[in-house]
Amino acid sequence: MFAYGIFKVIYAPHKAFREIIQNPRYIGPILIMILFTVANAGFGYTLISKTYVEQTLPASEQPGTWTENSALWTNYPGVNSTENYDDYINGTYFGSKAYYGNKSIEFSAADSTRISMQLDNIGPINCLGSEGYKNLSLRIKWISPEVKPENVTIYLFSTASDYFYSNLKQEFANSASNFWNNLTISLKPSTWVLYGSNASWGNINGLKLDFVWLNNSNITLLVDGLFFRGIFKSQMLDVSSFLLSFVPQSFMQFFIQWVLLGGMIYIMTKAFRAKTVWKAMLILAGFALITMFIQALVYAATFSTLPELYYPLEIIGGVKGEGDIASNKILEATWLVSDIYRYVQIGVFVWTILLCAIATRLSAEFSWTKSFLVSATAYFATITVVGLILGY
């Protein structure tokens, strides 16, 4: 019987609200809240289970660790290193914190044709198999000399004498001085040369960069944004953790919106001298929020049609202007769902306001104009406050 009353609000709201006013009971809105929580959890699970974010080393929780501390680098004879707080890659992690840190490492050598720097004790890092990192990214900017280096070599060490190396001359073919050159280097074994019988892609512990110019000069270059990358992981770690976080959040979302909406309508009708009753108005507002349950069901069904979505470092790193290609791919895959999402949201806004207007008219005996005014004002004030409280 309670379920019948709930769904009667959808197809016969006038009759349903009249019955509710005559016999207001909290069981109806509570049942709607439970249904919404379940449906919204299904929607959240559907979306998150399809979202894969690129994992980096250092991880996002330790932004740019290797290019934040010059003491981590071994300087070869004649090479000096320091932290540069003025010239670095400026990025944010999903708009919240610096993914690349807030400095770069500056290396310099006087009157030389070569500059080398080495990063030790960073492992063991697995770059082998499906669970291993697939690429290495770094940013290089040389201030002087103006000409590009004649040769650039990168080394990955398993031990002090066993390593892999790769020539990066081709990667620097179109590079320029005083410009951050963005390199993404494949870690496919076929593109590297093996030196030493104990070198293993499953056990990388150090990294070295070696730059060579044709003529002696004062060399200054910066290194930033050094990450092992290429592993994509679902944001759905396990169902139990998801339920423990998302279900209470969904419950609170409905409960806060329910109390605020009922309270807003009650206060406004009282301001217009209506003889409304708090309990009845609160219960009517709860029944009107059946739209939240329907919305969650539609979202869950719609988002279940999405393909798997991959968010690479270029997107999550938050460097201005980067990630456009990856973002466009995601937009291409989600444009229809995004449009449905937007139109459903608009439809739910209108539908909820209409239901609240009917409830207001029946309980307060207002005109339609006044009922819609109260309903629209109360609803938009409610979703604004809920957004501020829950951070939506």
55-234 is a CATH 2.60.120.260 domain: yes
pLDDT score of 1: 43
Specify the amino acid at residue 373. Answer: L
The pLDDT of residue 312 is above 80: yes
Give per-residue pLDDT as tens, 247-259: 888 999 999 999 9
Does residue 101 come out as left (phi exceeding 0), alpha (psi in the -120 to 50 range) or beta?
Answer: left
Q: Quote the CA–CA distance of 383 and 292 in Å, as a whole number.
A: 12
Note the pLDDT tens digit of each residue in 39-87: 998 888 888 888 888 999 998 666 668 998 999 998 888 899 999 999 9
> Alpha-carbon distance 140 to 58, whole Å?
18
* Separation of alpha carbons 27 and 48, rounded Å: 31
- Mean pLDDT over residues 327-341, rounded? 87
Domain positions in the chain: 2-51+238-390, 55-234
Q: How far is it, in rounded angstroms, from Cα 70 to Cα 74?
A: 9
Give the C-alpha separation, 343 to 351, whole Å: 12
Widest distance between CA atoms in the chain = 94
Which of 56, 67, 205 is closest to 136 using CA atoms? 56
Q: Checking DSSP bridges between strand 104-119 and strand 135-144, what pairing results, if any?
A: unpaired
pLDDT at 95: 54
> Of 91-105, 117-131, 297-311, which range is least confident?
91-105
E strands, 29-130, are 51-57, 73-75, 79-84, 104-119
List 79's β-bridge partners, or say none.
109
CB 326 within 8 A of CB 67: no
d(Cα 114, Cα 66) in Å, to the nearest integer?
22
Choose among 119, 153, 150, 146: nearest CA to 221: 146
Q: Is the pLDDT of residue 321 over 80?
A: no
pTM exceeds 0.85 for this model: no
CB burial of residue 75 (10 Å; 0-12, 13-18, 19+): middle
187 neighbors 240 (Cβ within 8 angstroms): no
**pLDDT score, position 101:** 84
The helices-and-strands tally (H runs, E runs) of the chain is 9, 11
Rounded CA separation 231/229 (Å): 6
Give the whole-angstrom CA distance, residue 32 versus residue 8.
12
